[in-house]
Amino acid sequence: MGLAELSSALGDKAIAGEPLSQHTTFGIGGPADLFVVAHTVPELCRYVRLAWEQGVPYFILGSGANLLVSDKGIRGLVIHNQCQAVRVLPGEEEQTCLVVAESGAELRAVARQAIAQGLAGLEWAVDVPGTVGGAVVGNAGAYGGYISDNLRGVAVFTPQEGECWWQATQLGLGYRTSRFKRNKDAEHPSPVILSATLALYREEAARIQARAAEYSRRRAESQPSGLSAGSVFKRTEQYPAGFLIENAGLKGTQIGGAVVSTQHANFIINQGSATARDVQQLIELIRETVYAKFKIHLELEIELVGEW
Ligand SMILES: Cc1cc2nc3c(=O)[nH]c(=O)nc-3n(C[C@H](O)[C@H](O)[C@H](O)COP(=O)(O)OP(=O)(O)OC[C@H]3O[C@@H](n4cnc5c(N)ncnc54)[C@H](O)[C@@H]3O)c2cc1C
């Protein structure tokens, strides 16, 4: 692969061997062969195209809030998406507005901005870490709301087809999934989300703020602080994963520097020195124990990425 050629094409913008532990909420992850930050959409497209032309795999990194990056890191180019512009346009109906957010914008910042402007629909997101792009990929949601509820569509870039628009109905959005997540290994080169268009509706600001405040309160009460990637497993058909893990007696179970939170059993916390291997082993232990006790398979919500 043309890593050296790619490196010289990117010039001093590219960093070799950047530790990805600095770019994930777990605080875990080995080096990227090459790492570059995209501040604008044209830059983002250019880096993707350059990597593709050189036959170098690329990985789009949002806030790293849903990732367990391996200790060996990620081969190829990691593009840290910091395209953050947000525009608010009038909607088709009087009471709606369209929010067009670049994919590197922080979802919670977009939610707060919307609330401040009296726009409802994203209250559930006020404390959800991550970018708009990452939220679309995993169809992020909380307290009964999902980004798919308000998503009209996304502008997408692929090196062969350039920029195009995909309607929300074309995105295969489901519980914590989308075609982007499902087809990660099948769709080569993988499409990159450039921006998302969300339809929000006008409502009295005080009512929207009250809902957001209630969600914040509930989150602060139930979720542990510390280095994590949020919920590790998806909710199963019958039970929340945390309920099964807790009832399998696993709260507080530790491998290396990784521990099952005593506050919320579906969170694994990096106590500071955890490796990706520690977390992976803890994940396997949880799965085996829960299966042995309840005959239920836990499916991962977080993504394991990189070279294992
Ligand atoms: C404390 C905590 C609480 C959390 N609570 C919630 C919650 O309530 N609800 C919830 O749904 N999630 C929650 N999460 C998980 C996380 O916030 C979401 O999954 C979030 O949407 C991830 O966004 P990100 O930008 O960090 O994506 P990343 O983790 O950086 O990436 C995730 C995937 O998306 C891909 N990707 C990212 N951007 C693009 C793009 N522009 N184009 C193509 N692919 C892209 C990446 O390549 C990767 O495959 C929580 C996490 C933490 C740490």
CA-nearest residue for atom 1, ligand 1, is: 230
249 vs 286: CA distance, rounded Å: 10
According to the model, what pLDDT value does residue 90 have?
Answer: 85
DSSP3 helix / strand / coil % (the chain, rounded to 5): 35, 30, 40
71 vs 278: CA distance, rounded Å: 10
277 vs 280: CA distance, rounded Å: 5
According to the model, what pLDDT value does residue 241 have?
Answer: 98
Q: How confident is the model at residue 56 (pLDDT cuts 50, 70, 90)?
A: very high
Query: Is the confidence at residue 189, as pLDDT, over 90?
Result: no
pLDDT, tens digit, for every residue of 210-224? 999 999 999 999 999
Query: Is the confidence at residue 185, as pLDDT, over 70?
Result: no
The three-state secondary structure class of 204 is coil
Name beta bridge partners: 35.
Answer: 15, 78
Q: Which atom of ligand 1 is nearest to the CA of 140?
A: 11
According to the model, what pLDDT value does residue 221 have?
Answer: 94
Q: What average pLDDT is seen over the chain?
A: 96
- Tokens at residue 256, please? 């290396």
According to the model, what pLDDT value does residue 93 have?
Answer: 81
11 vs 5: CA distance, rounded Å: 10
Please report which helix (H) or strand (E) contains residue 179, including its range: helix 179-182
CATH top-level class of 241-305: alpha beta
According to the model, what pLDDT value does residue 196 have?
Answer: 98
Q: Which amino acid does the sequence have at 37?
A: V
Query: Is the confidence at residue 182, as pLDDT, over 90?
Result: no
Q: How confident is the model at residue 198 (pLDDT cuts 50, 70, 90)?
A: very high
Report yes or no: 268 and 34 within 8 Å, Cβ to Cβ: no
pLDDT, tens digit, for every residue of 232-266? 999 999 999 999 999 999 999 999 999 999 999 99
269 vs 227: CA distance, rounded Å: 6
What number is the average pLDDT over the span 117-142?
97
Q: How confident is the model at residue 187 (pLDDT cuts 50, 70, 90)?
A: low
According to the model, what pLDDT value does residue 217 have?
Answer: 97
Which residues are known to be catalytic?
176, 231, 301
Ligand 1 centre and the CA of 293: distance in Å?
30
CA-nearest residue for atom 36, ligand 1, is: 134
Question: Is the domain covering 3-81 a CATH 3.30.43.10 domain?
Answer: yes
Query: Is the confidence at residue 1, as pLDDT, over 70?
Result: no
What number is the average pLDDT over the span 196-220?
96
> Same fold for the domain at 3-81 and the one at 86-222?
no
> 279 to each of 28, 203, 227, 260, 272, how far by Cα in Å?
9, 43, 12, 10, 12
CA-nearest residue for atom 32, ligand 1, is: 134
Q: How confident is the model at residue 11 (pLDDT cuts 50, 70, 90)?
A: very high
According to the model, what pLDDT value does residue 183 have?
Answer: 77
Q: What is the pTM of this model?
A: 0.97
What number is the average pLDDT over the span 78-92?
94
According to the model, what pLDDT value does residue 92 have?
Answer: 79
Query: Is the confidence at residue 137, as pLDDT, over 90?
Result: yes
- What spatial distance separates the first Cα and last Cα of the chain, rounded to whole Å? 20
Ligand 1 centre and the CA of 255: distance in Å?
25
According to the model, what pLDDT value does residue 186 have?
Answer: 64
Chain position carrying tokens 């042995």: 292
71 vs 59: CA distance, rounded Å: 16
Please report which helix (H) or strand (E) contains residue 15, including its range: strand 15-19
Name beta bridge partners: 268.
Answer: 260
Report yes or no: 78 and 34 within 8 Å, Cβ to Cβ: yes
Query: Is the confidence at residue 60, as pLDDT, over 80?
Result: yes
CATH top-level class of 86-222: alpha beta
Which residue, among 300, 287, 302, 299, has the nearest Cα to 245 in the 3D structure? Answer: 287
Burial of 268 (0-12, 13-18, 19+ CB in 10 A): buried
> Residues near ligand 1 with C-beta < 6 Å?
25, 59-67, 81, 103, 128-131, 133-135, 137-138, 140-142, 180, 192-193, 228-230, 303
Domain locations in the chain as residue ranges: 3-81, 86-222, 241-305
Q: How confident is the model at residue 98 (pLDDT cuts 50, 70, 90)?
A: very high
What number is the average pLDDT over the span 277-286?
98
